[in-house]
Amino acid sequence: MRLIVHDLAEQDFNTWLGGFSRDTDEIIGEQETIRHCVGCFGCWVRTPGTCVLNDSYKHMGERLAAYEEYVFITRNVYGGYSPFVSNVLNRTLPYVLPYFLTKNGETHHQQRYERQIRFTVHFYGEGMSEAERETARSLVRANALNLDASGYKVSFHDTLNSLKEVQ
Amino acid sequence: MRIALVNGSPKGGASNSGILLEKLKPLIAEGNELNAYRVNVKPLKPEQYRELNEADVLVLAFPLYFDAIPSHLLRAMVEMEKFRQQEPGNRELIVYALINNGFYEGHQCKIAADIVSNWCSRCGFRFGMAIGHGAGEMFKSLSRVPLGKGPLKNLGKAMDQLSAAILTRSSAGSLFIQPNFPRIAWRLAATHSFWHAQAKKNGLRPKDLRRQPFQVSRNGNQG
């Protein structure tokens, strides 16, 4: 019961990650055009909980709320997610509320849904620098905090072959 | 010196990133050529990548999205890295970042600043420094407040350090700051003057903003 977002070519996904069950997991790859978040806050103040951009990613908030785990399989790009995975995450904004709360002395968003998810990120790529790994760890920790995840995991894979262990 | 000012806000019109760049401009204009670029949902043209690659200084201004760089700007940065591999451009190019985030604390911009720094390493650029400012949505109401005054006192000091670094093309420690305005007052203003006012404009009540649309997942569980 995972919502899996990846940036692999379809063939690579099937070769290396074919073990994911498409019956219980929902898998989002870069097959359909995705629009960029335009920072309009419409998902908070016009159609609360739903993005106003009319494409197949407009319901990312409620889609995530229906699963127990949010999983990213992404190239490590400068210590963050790839543009596609980042795009999907940006479109997940309606998952949280516009309102704030203070957690550990920092401002974060209040949650729209009562339930919590787990957050797991598998970064892949050859030649990741130590700085890129460290930034990536910090990013996942920060995102998990803002999504109020019950827990998070980060792993790094130098080759696509090692992604096999992900399942 | 050719200074490229890149507004990375995805918004179509006025933006907080644009306001920050406007505040910076007078501090670095004298004797320099300033060129403005807008990276939003419309991608940059190849000749614009060439101009950026040949600039002496690049200032990237953008809003924080999920603790990082908004995806449309990230795509442009990846394209820029590819462009750089084909054409060496200016080998001394130095990059500065002006980041604003919707939370109060400026230090929440640190990861995005690190991503920009890592991007510089990949592209062979020098990383200068970043300013990360909290309470970004306040800028619109403060656009006429002079730098260094009132709520923009911290920003004024930070902009002085940033402009000094730009003018000498040097690196310095990044600065993460918030407005000179109490956090509790900012939070109340955000809730009542911003979110609730926006909701009212759209014919919604405050409680409507907490709606919980849900769908059924594939195994039949409800969210």
Q: B114 and A98 in contact by Cβ < 8 A?
A: no
Q: In chain A, how many domains are there? A: 1
Which of chain A's residues have a Cβ under 8 Å away from the Cβ of B208? 48
Tell me the pTM: 0.96
Taking 50 as the pLDDT cut, the residues of chain A under it are none
Q: A165 by DSSP, 3-state: which?
A: helix
Which pLDDT score is estimated for B218? 55
Is A111 within a domain?
yes
Which domain CATH number covers B80? Answer: 3.40.50.360
Which of chain B's residues have a Cβ under 8 Å away from the Cβ of A69? none
Q: Which residues contact A33 (CB under 8 A, 6 or more apart)?
A: A55
Q: Are B173 and B160 in a shared domain?
A: yes
Is A39 within a domain?
yes
Q: Which segments within chain B are labelled E, that is strand?
A: 2-7, 33-38, 57-63, 94-100, 126-133, 175-177
Alpha carbon of A58: minimum distance to chain B alpha carbons (Å): 12
Is B219 within a domain?
no
In this predicted model, what pLDDT tens digit does every residue of B35-82 receive, in sequence order? 999 998 788 999 999 999 999 999 999 999 999 999 999 999 999 999
Q: Which residue of A has its CA nearest to B119?
A: A78
* Of A45, A150, A39, the residue nearest A98 (C-alpha): A45
Q: A45 and B223 in contact by Cβ < 8 A?
A: no
Q: Is A27 on the interface with B (CB under 8 A)?
A: no
Taking 50 as the pLDDT cut, the residues of chain B under it are 221-223
Which pLDDT score is estimated for B216? 66
Alpha carbon of B8: minimum distance to chain A alpha carbons (Å): 11
Q: Are B204 and B174 in a shared domain?
A: no
Is B38 within a domain?
yes
In this predicted model, what pLDDT tens digit does every residue of B182-193 receive, in sequence order? 999 999 999 998
Is A37 within a domain?
yes
Q: Is B218 on the interface with A (CB under 8 A)?
A: yes
Report how far residue B68's alpha carbon sits from residue B119's, in angstroms, rounded to the nearest whole number.
13
Q: Which residue of A has its CA nearest to B183?
A: A107
Q: Are B36 and B137 in a shared domain?
A: yes
Q: A106 and B187 in contact by Cβ < 8 A?
A: no
Q: In chain B, how many domains are there? A: 2
Which domain CATH number covers A98? Answer: 3.40.50.360
CA distances (Å), B59 to each of B55, B93, B132, B145, B196, in order? 10, 11, 13, 22, 34
Q: Are B91 and B69 in a shared domain?
A: yes
Q: Are B71 and B148 in a shared domain?
A: yes
| Domain extent for B19 | 2-179
Is B97 within a domain?
yes
Q: B12 and A38 in contact by Cβ < 8 A?
A: yes
Which pLDDT score is estimated for B217? 62
Q: B215 and A63 in contact by Cβ < 8 A?
A: yes
Report how far residue B164's alpha carbon sits from residue B78's, in angstroms, rounded to the nearest whole number.
29
Report how far residue B206's alpha carbon sits from residue B132's, in angstroms, rounded to the nearest whole number.
30
Q: Are B85 and B113 in a shared domain?
A: yes
Is A126 within a domain?
no
Is A100 within a domain?
yes
Q: Is A141 on the interface with B (CB under 8 A)?
A: no
Which pLDDT score is estimated for B102? 92
What does the block give as tokens for B198?
A: 């926006």
| Domain extent for A42 | 2-121+131-165
